[in-house]
Structure 1
């Protein structure tokens, strides 16, 4: 966020960097996204049976 012009020589008491709680949440969200990106079969295997059931309605054997 931008709060306008930068004021020089003003104490930075009200603005703090990310603390441990924010970093923990970032890691909890970021790691599964990276994991699914490298190995999507972990998630796709959960829906294989349902997709096959749907496709069998349209393309019978």
Structure 2
């Protein structure tokens, strides 16, 4: 997965015209790995079909 994350970071940076210094790439990769781990936890959390969405509050 590591190599694919490096490729993903390079592709997204190019698509957004966002230069990423080589010294920062390990930190970017680490943050992406943490974000993906948290997203996986949320995605795998079982919710019953009867669950209702939360109310929307507007200030």
* TM superposition score normalised by structure 2: 0.34
Instruction: Report the TM-score when normalising by structure 1.
Output: 0.33
Pick the structure with greater CA Rg: 1
